[in-house]
Amino acid sequence: MIKKTAKRAKARLNKINPDNPEKNPKVGYISKAVREKMALEEEQKKIAAEAESTEEQAE
């Protein structure tokens, strides 16, 4: 009997919506290939930023 009431209480808690669901969005699975692409894009952005900074210093 105690297990059933505990299970029902837990089920009631699952139905409660969070105040701001966008604050902590769930992140789905990111495959290895996608992670690698993201890393390459970040590296390219860093290289571009460094190139811009060196051009500014040269002027």
Enter the pTM of the model.
0.47
Displacement of CA 54 from its chain's centroid (Å): 32
What's the distance, CA 19 to chain centroid?
19
What pLDDT score was predicted for residue 21?
64
Q: What is the pLDDT of residue 59?
A: 63
- Coil, helix or strand for 19? coil
Query: Per residue in 10-58, pLDDT tens?
Result: 888 877 776 666 776 677 888 999 999 999 999 999 999 888 888 777 6
What pLDDT is stored for residue 57 in this prediction?
73
Residue 47: per-residue pLDDT: 93
At residue 55, the pLDDT reads 74
